[in-house]
Amino acid sequence: MRVVIQRVSSASVKIENQIFSKIEKGLLVLVGIEEIDTQVDIEWLSGKIVRLRVFPDSQDVMNLSVQEIDGEILVVSQFTLHASTKKGNRPSYIRAARPEVSIPLYEKFVQQLEKDLGKSVKTGVFGAMMNISLVNDGPVTIVIDTQNKE
């Protein structure tokens, strides 16, 4: 699984010009799923996201997690995170999992985040054409890949 995490003061998903979901202070998580991803990846990544210390404490040091600030999480599926641009100029998405694999893993990922966060997580709609709006706070943007745990 590969995620791009953005600390936001607000974020929303529009589908067909209607707001589908929105959050205030928290994390926007764009997630791409590969065929090789497992429940182990989901649990590790969810725990990492919920405990990631990217929010400022009273001394303005990034020392608090989304859980500690009682923030929100918005998760949006994005298969293009697994784009390969090695050959030519047209990206290949061969590493992205097919829907029959990725949809159940995406749903399990959202459920695990809710469990770890202790409250509901907002989402987009898997496979839908979505317009994502966000105010990146910082800016703070972090990329995590479960196949390359750094």
Whole-number Å distance between alpha carbons of 50 and 71 = 10
Residues 13-31 pLDDT 10s: 999 999 999 999 999 999 9
Residue 150 lies in a domain: no
- Any catalytic annotation for residue 80? yes
Which of 80, 85, 123, 141 is flagged as catalytic?
80
Assess if residue 108 is contained within a domain: yes
**Would the pTM count as exceeding 0.85?**
yes
Overall number of domains in the chain = 1
Q: What is the mean pLDDT of residues 38-65?
A: 97
Q: Which residues contact 77 (CB under 8 A, 6 or more apart)?
A: 30, 31, 32, 33, 102, 106, 124, 126, 127
Contact 45, 3 (CB under 8 A): yes
Return the CATH number at 106. Answer: 3.50.80.10
In contact, 77 and 124? CB cutoff 8 Å: yes
98-127 residue pLDDT tens:
989 999 999 999 999 999 999 999 999 988
pLDDT score for 25: 98
